[in-house]
Amino acid sequence: MAGERQAGLSAVLDAIRRDDGVTQTTLTERVGLGRSVVAERVTQLQEAGLILSAGHGPSTGGRAPRRLSLNPDAGFVLGVDIEATELVVGAVNMAGNVLSTRREPIDVHRGPEEVMSRIFALADEIVAENAAAGNLLGAGVGIPGPVDFEAGAPLEEPLLPGWAGYPVRDALSRRWPVPVWVDGRANLLALVEVVANPRAARTRNLLYFGGGSSTAAAMIVEGRTYRGAHGLAGSVGHIAVPEVGMVSCVCGRAGCLDAVASRWAIARDGLLLAQTGRSPALADTLARVGAVEPYDITLAAERGDVAARELLERTAGVLGRTLANLVSFFAPDMLVVGGGMARARDYVLEPLRAAIHERLPAAATADLIIEFSVLDDLVSGVLGATQLAIGELFDEANVGRLLLSAAGRADGTPPTR
């Protein structure tokens, strides 16, 4: 019976999360439970302070049904987004609203101990700052590489020397007595896309590609993240791309996708355009600030710089032909491209689409939706981390503990219903 109760609570929370303001009548239809059972679960969740009534829906002849929403004051979760050169830590309430964030530059090559010390410092500030928002209920962490989800630790990745096997989850759980989940950044970006993008939310099978410090893909199957064996699904950064030739990659091999489509590779090519004078706009940027970043290439393209536009279009073509292979294998309903490429959408969308359609039969692309992420790349990582935590807290395995934490039950006595 306890298992059925937990499953019902989880189903109700998840349905309200996906459709804020859903009526109790509609909720009953969606979760597949009896009216009295749903009413009882709703009452439990209201008593714990996790959901609240948000007015009434239209009447169909009898009493107007109640609308239900997640309670923004039920508590909050932490999100930690680790990138190769930047750390973002944020707090989000249970309704998904951002409460506060901290951002600072880091260098992951300096090792996990140094980065974790900065996470602790920033997160402590945020937890103290949001003491009035309720209890800290959980935390999610994004790592720029593959992760052993069960162990909560990174797997080996060339751009993360010294991080393989480091117990990120356990270190954070020792800091705060709340459940913590750790996943690859690409998985989190795909997850938040499904939450924030209505078209992605309606998609049964979504393929996400995020070009960052290292390129990676993620797959959402029937609304759930597919991680594969050992958490390595989507680790495409070091697959061979024949047309890249002998361009060296940080992994020590040549011809990897990372060697042409990652952030560091695009910055490398932009710097070369600046140093050779082929791109006057990038040469000016290099002279003024001493470096060329991927976003500088997009800005140069917007100013009409021919070489910058050609670089973006060429990269989009290589990426599109690689993504065509992934689309052919996975057969998604929707392909979302995020990361830095999304910022250059005006110059890369059509070459990318053309490359995919050129490589695939018409049947594979007839109704395939291809679009760029709707999210701001600067905050999407931390939002994905918090959505991971909220989704896991709502899971039937954890919902009992969530009810106690949200209600502030210090004695740990389980609910009686």
244 and 135 belong to one structural domain = no
365 and 242 belong to one structural domain = yes
206 pLDDT exceeds 60?
A: yes
307 and 346 belong to one structural domain = yes
Tens digits of per-residue pLDDT, 138-169?
999 999 999 999 999 999 988 899 999 999 99
139 and 214 belong to one structural domain = no
- Total domains in the chain come to 3
259 and 344 belong to one structural domain = yes
Contact 52, 71 (CB under 8 A): yes
The two structure tokens encoding residue 31: 């979760």
pLDDT at position 297: 96
38 and 105 belong to one structural domain = no
Report if residue 411 sits inside a domain: no
Q: Which residues pair with 184 in a beta bridge?
A: 143
Q: What are phi and psi of 313, to 5 degrees?
A: -65, -40
235 and 357 belong to one structural domain = yes
Report if residue 50 sits inside a domain: yes
59 pLDDT exceeds 90?
A: no
User: Which of these three, 70, 100, 119, is where a domain ends?
Assistant: 70
141 and 102 belong to one structural domain = yes
Q: Kindly state the average pLDDT of the residues 75-101.
A: 94
pLDDT at position 19: 86
Q: What are phi and psi of 136, to 5 degrees?
A: -70, 125
Report if residue 409 sits inside a domain: no
Tens digits of per-residue pLDDT, 261-316?
999 999 999 999 999 999 999 999 999 999 999 999 999 999 999 999 999 999 99
208 and 345 belong to one structural domain = yes
The pTM for the full model equals: 0.90
Q: Map tokens 């996906």 to a residue.
A: 18
334 and 311 belong to one structural domain = yes
Burial class, 59, CB count within 10 angstroms (exposed 0-12 / middle 13-18 / buried 19+): exposed
Report if residue 99 sits inside a domain: yes
pLDDT at position 410: 35
Dihedral over Cα of 95, 99, 103, 107: its sign: negative
Report if residue 417 sits inside a domain: no
Q: Kindly state the average pLDDT of the residues 207-223.
A: 89
Q: Kindly state the average pLDDT of the residues 391-417.
A: 71
81 and 66 belong to one structural domain = no
Report if residue 402 sits inside a domain: no
User: Which of these three, 48, 70, 92, is where a domain ends?
Assistant: 70
CATH number at residue 271: 3.30.420.40
Least confident interval from 31-35, 121-125, 206-210: 31-35
pLDDT at position 57: 65
Report if residue 398 sits inside a domain: no
Average model confidence (pLDDT) for the chain?
90
Secondary structure, 3-state, the chain: CHHHHHHHHHHHHHHHHHCCCEEHHHHHHHHCCCHHHHHHHHHHHHHCCCEEEEEECCCCCCCCCEEEEECCCCCEEEEEEECCCEEEEEEEECCCCEEEEEEEECCHHHCHHHHHHHHHHHHHHHHHHCHHHCCEEEEEEEECCCEECCCCEECCCCCCCCCCCCCHHHHHHHHCCCCEEEEEHHHHHHHHHHHHCHHHHCCCEEEEEEECCCEEEEEEECCEEECCHHHCCCCCCCCECHHHCCCECCCCCECECHHHHCHHHHHHHHHHHHHHCCCHHHHHHHHHHCCCCHHHHHHHHHCCCHHHHHHHHHHHHHHHHHHHHHHHHHCCCEEEEEEHHHHCHHHHHHHHHHHHHHHCCHHHHCCCEEEECCCCHHHHHHHHHHHHHHHHHCCCCCHHHHHHHHHCCCCCCCCCC
CATH number at residue 52: 1.10.10.10
Is residue 114 very low, low, confident or very high in pLDDT (cuts 50, 70, 90)? Answer: very high
pLDDT at position 336: 95
Is residue 226 very low, low, confident or very high in pLDDT (cuts 50, 70, 90)? Answer: very high
Residue-number span of the structural domain to which 290 is assigned: 198-374
Is residue 1 very low, low, confident or very high in pLDDT (cuts 50, 70, 90)? Answer: low
Report if residue 404 sits inside a domain: no
Q: Kindly state the average pLDDT of the residues 352-375.
A: 91
Tens digits of per-residue pLDDT, 173-197?
999 889 999 999 999 999 999 988 8
User: Which of these three, 70, 86, 106, is where a domain ends?
Assistant: 70
339 pLDDT exceeds 60?
A: yes
136 and 251 belong to one structural domain = no
